[in-house]
Each structure stands twice: as C-alpha cells, then as structure tokens.
Amino acid sequence: MEEYEWFLRSAVVDAGLCTFCGACAAVCPNDRIEFREDGPALKEECLRKGEGACKDVCQRLMTFAAKIAPNIFGFKAKPPTLLGQYESIVSARAKDPEIRDVAQNGGAVTALLAYCLDNGIVDGVIATSNFGKPMSRVVRSREELIETAGSKYASVPVLYALKDAQELRNVAVVGLPCHVYGVRKIQFFPGLTAHGYEIGEKGERLKFPNIAYVIGLFCAENFNYEKLKNFAASKGLDIKNARRAEIHLDELIVTTKEGRTYEFNLNELWNAGCVQEGCVICRDAVSKLADISAGYTGSKKGWTTLILRTAKGVELVDAAENAGYIEKTNDVDIHRIEEFANLKMQRFNWELKRRLDAGRKVNFYWASDYPGVVGEAKGTFFVKIKTNSGLTDAETLSKVAEIAKKYGDGTIEVTTRQSIEIQGVSGTNVDKIMAEIYESGLATIGMGYVSACVGSDYCSEGLIETKKLAGELTKLFAQRLTPHKVKVGIAACPNDCVRAKRHDIGLVYQVRPEVDIEKCNGCGRCAELCRVDAISIEFGKAEIDYDRCVGCGWCIRGCPNEAMIEAERGYSVWIGGNDARRPADGILLKSFCKPEEIPAIIDAVAQTLLKYKKKPGRERLGNVMRRVGEGKFIKEVLDAV
C-alpha cells in the first residue's frame, strides 16, 4: 500500500500518540483520510501534506483546553484539577426497564439521549455501535439508540460520523475523553484558529450540525480491536459474539449473546499489547470538557455516576428527571472517582518517563490545558503570570524569580500587556511549575487581560485610580473576549501612556473645564499650563477652545484664583483601534462615562461584534466596524446600553 506524506502520520500516529478520535477525518473536505489498524493515514495524495484542518483539530498536538473551557463553562472557567470543573455530582439510572436491561450501569446516558430525541432537542446522536466490531454511526431514532446502548471497548474514530450528520441541525455526541477533546476542537474551530474550516480542492465546504450536548464517558484505557480480537480468540471467545462489555476493578468482563461470561485481567491485556498506545499517555479519565461526564465509578451497582459540568448539562438532567426518564440520588463516593482519575495520572506519568528515557518523541499536548502557557520556538514553554494590570509587589517578584530559576531557564520578560513571563520551561516541568504557582497564590492568564497605566495613586498627572477598574474588567471579560482578541486599555488621563486609543476598546479619563468669569482675572496661568494651546486670554478673561481641549485638567489644578472649574469628568470610550498589522486609532463612542457604566458598554460592544464577525482570527473589532459601517455599528452599541 502506497504511503503518502502526511504531517500527522509522522508527528502523532507514528509517535504512538494517536487516540483514533476521528476528528482529522471529520474535517478533511477532500475525504482523504482513512483508518487502518495502526491509525489514520492518507488514502491518496494531499496537496497540503496534512498542513491543514486535520492538523488544526488534532488534540495530540495541543488540546487548547484553556481556550475552549471559557466557552463551555459560561466564561467562568477555572484552572485544571483532577476531576475537572463541575457544578454537582449525582448518581442516576433510567426509569425505563428496557433501557436498564440493554444499557450500561443503569442506563442513565441512554435515558438522557432518549429524552433529547423524543423531545426534538437533538435530531441525532453521534455514538458507537456494534459490540462485535465497534464503529461510529449517527443514531436518528429511539430504536437505533437502544441498539447502540452499552460500552464498547475498542478504539473507534467516533467523530468521523459527523460527516454523515451534515443534514442534521442539532446533535449530541457521546464518547470517551479523547472524543470530547476532538469534538470541542471542531466545535470551536473558528475561534481557535485564524481561519475557517478548510475548503476542498473543488470548492467543497463542510457543514457541521450544532453540537447541542457533549456527553463524555469515564475511561481507564481502550483497546486495539484487532489485538483484542486475537487475545479473546486465544481464550476461546469470538469477539463478534459479544453482547456486553464492562470494566470492573482490574478486569474486562465480556458477556456473549448466549449469556456466557468471560473475564480478562487488565494486566494480561496490557502485557499482550492490546491497550491502544495513544491511550497510555492520556491524562483525562473523566472527560473534563464534556457537558456531562458518566461512568460507574463512585456509584452502587446498577447506577451511573453523572458529573454535571455545565449549566446546560445540569438543566438537561433536571428536565429528564422531571419528565420521568431518570431518577437520581446524591449517594456518590467522590473519593472513589478521585482515586480512579489519579490512577490514570500515575500511569500517564509512568508512560511519559518511559518514553522520554527511551528517547522517544513526545508532544507535550497537555501544556495548553493551563491558561497562559504557550509554546516557544525552541520547544519549551513560557508561563504568563498575572499582575494587577502591571502592579505587583516585591514578594511576588521574588517568588516568580525563584520559580523561574527552578523550572525555567532563569529569564523573565515583562510584557507590553503588563504580565510577567517565565521563559524556557520544559514540557516535563509544566505540571510542576503550575502546581507551585497555584500553591503560591499566584495566577496565570492568557489573552483578554486589561492593561492600564499606573493611575492617580502613583502618577501626578493621573486623574483617577485605574487598577481597580482594570481588575474588575479583566474578571468580567477576559474569558468572554479571549476567542475574539479584543484588547482593552485604560488611561488615567489624556496623556494616554498606555495607548488606549490603539486598543480594540480604549478608556481615557478626562475632565471638562469651564471658566468662572467672576473669579477669572486674566492672569494667564492657565494658558501657560495648557500643552495643546486650547486656552487664550481675550479681553482680560480666559477662553477655552473645546475643539483643541483634551481634558487633561492642568488648567483646573494650576489656576491660582480657582477660576477654572470642573464641569464634568469621566471616561471617553474609543472602539475599533489596534496596534497590530494594520495599526489604527479607535473612534470615539461616548464621552464622560462613569466607571460603573463601563461594563455595560463593553458588553454591548462585544455582543455587537459577535453579531457581525465573519472571519475569526482575521477580523479585529475595527475591521468589523468598517465592513458593517461605523455609524451603524456605533448606533447599535449605544441602543443596547
């Protein structure tokens, strides 16, 4: 069989990292990727040699979990933990006896999906079918759902079935942690890359349905089908006769169509090489990026543990319970789930060390699970430490220096976005450095960071303290604005040292002076202090040219007779600027805004941007404004405030 040059083949498949998730094949518009026993491969030549959408969605290059998580968790994502972020953990089972009979561990997942199909919430389910030789499929009815119920322990490119669901509107995806990462990268592809989905060589365009729900399954390990089939045959089992399979403790238990039970020791399967190589270097046992995670660990026999991670996951379970599809209880042993997840992490660390000691290639794909951890040109990573929009203290700097020497190459960069970057962190040190950062009370941050000048607390020309508002806006909007690269800058006076007008959203504080004619004696001090020549003395009185006045307030502070008074003060809001490839100043949206008005204004700008944005990664706010029409865009923003 002819082999064609393909980036993922050398970088992931041959490196023993592939999970068989199927994402690469799902996004190939030319349908050139097929799955063989040893992994995906090109079935014909690719003009890009794999440097396309397949590379962009591969989770084993980078998970981008830190960028995806804000979109999943309502822009309130938290740092990675052993079990991941969740709202609650319950134990549940199907109320329908038919589902409980055919499904796994109480059938809660099947019951939830039945509720979605019966009520038109989804048109189909992307799942795995067939116990004998598992394969991916699109489930379109309750009857088909019953046929696919139960766990299948063989690596299946589940996501490839998305290509067969292009005519559907809403689907649910059920899969293992690897499938969850893959479908999330497909789902949020436009926000993660600087381009849309790849267009085929003949103009083919992929159309994916809306991913309404992602249900992730617990996973200790998965098996290569051919190797598992041969192992089972050596034990007297024809795997094609399997009706049910489940892992309990250290055994894979297979029940045949005739009702006979076979028990295989997991260590024996491991030693026989049945475990999929890419699974061994997996860190996620509980599908951390799913809406709902499900497994038997932590619940009593006949019940399913459900980790309800997102708001819509919680709503789905509540709705299914109220409709009589499931029953649930809070009787869950969370410690057991933690033990299960920790065992997988221990095996991951063992496998990582084994591969590194053997000189094998490892992609430190999990580094992007953490916010603010970014790859460097030399294969190492930098870690971006959050400051208070540029302010920090000596103790923090000392700790950062200590960590930089311990885990990095000893160098630190102070960035233009007012964070501190620890440079030269090796992939093997990413987990260690992040653990110490969190233990030290420090935090890391990616994009969306609000920059600000030092403000009136430190600068004699500042008109207002800036750091408090910068911190509030970072907390409110950093995650929401991150996928769209909206930078916010705050200047405490019109000197604009932070170059706020060259930000997507810039806030510049101003005061508006007025002359008290009764008190003004025409001494001229205000005119001397004005750096923009906006004040002149006419007929013995000061006059202000408001077309020139920038609102710095120096005339007010310097008047010896208190004749220059403050009429109003507040932030002027500028939108659409940027200092990148095509630099441009922003356009004035509104003047003299109070600090408490700013969040609503930024929210309105963000919502209007999302409404009109068409080219993720290539259109900044200013580009969208010019395409839509600046006047129209500004009117919509102001109408929404």
Express each pLDDT in 41-52 by its tens digit: 999 999 999 899
Least confident of 143-147, 503-507, 530-534, 615-619: 615-619
Label residue 384 by pLDDT band (50, 70, 90): very high
Domains observed in the chain: 63-220+279-340 (3.40.640), 223-275 (3.10.450.750), 370-439 (3.30.70.3340), 451-640 (3.30.413.10)
pLDDT at 194 over 80: no
Label residue 614 by pLDDT band (50, 70, 90): confident
Give the residue among 437, 360, 385, 376 at the shortest CA–CA distance from 406: 437
Residue 190 confidence (pLDDT): 74
- Per residue in 227-267, pLDDT (tens digit) is 888 998 999 988 888 877 777 767 888 888 888 988 898 88
Residue 378 confidence (pLDDT): 93
Tell me the DSSP string of 539-604.
TTEEEE-TTT-----HHHHH-TTS-EEEEEEEEEEEES-B-SSS-B--EEEEEEE-GGGHHHHHHH
Label residue 222 by pLDDT band (50, 70, 90): confident
Q: How far, in Å, CA of 402 to CA of 380, rounded?
A: 18
Kindly report the length of the chain: 641
Mean pLDDT along residues 572-588: 92
- Per residue in 456-478, pLDDT (tens digit) is 999 999 999 999 999 999 888 87
Helix (H) or strand (E) holding 91: strand 88-94
**Starting from the edge strand earliest in sequence, which strands make up the sheet with 242-248, in order?**
242-248, 251-256, 261-265
Give me 14's structure tokens: 């041959």
Sign of CA dihedral 365, 367, 368, 369: positive
Q: How far is CA 237 from CA 263, 339, 362, 418, 484, in A?
A: 10, 32, 36, 63, 53
Give the residue among 41, 49, 39 at the shortest CA–CA distance from 16: 39
Q: How far, in Å, CA of 98 to CA of 109, rounded?
A: 14
**Which backbone phi and psi does 414 adopt, to 5 degrees?**
-95, 120
**Which backbone phi and psi does 52 adopt, to 5 degrees?**
-145, -145
Residue 253 confidence (pLDDT): 83
pLDDT at 539 over 70: yes
614: exposed, middle or buried (Cβ count in 10 Å: 0-12, 13-18, 19+): exposed
Give me 21's structure tokens: 């998730």
- Other Cβ atoms less than 10 A from the Cβ of 489: the count is 30
Mean pLDDT along residues 316-324: 98
pLDDT at 132 over 80: no
Label residue 151 by pLDDT band (50, 70, 90): low
213: exposed, middle or buried (Cβ count in 10 Å: 0-12, 13-18, 19+): buried
Q: What angle do CA 624, 71, 295 make, to 5 degrees?
A: 160
Give me 245's structure tokens: 């399979």
| pLDDT, the chain, mean | 92
Q: How far, in Å, CA of 365 to CA of 379, rounded?
A: 12
Label residue 638 by pLDDT band (50, 70, 90): very high
Residue 20 confidence (pLDDT): 94
**In the chain, % of residues over pLDDT 70:** 97
**Which backbone phi and psi does 283 adopt, to 5 degrees?**
-105, -15
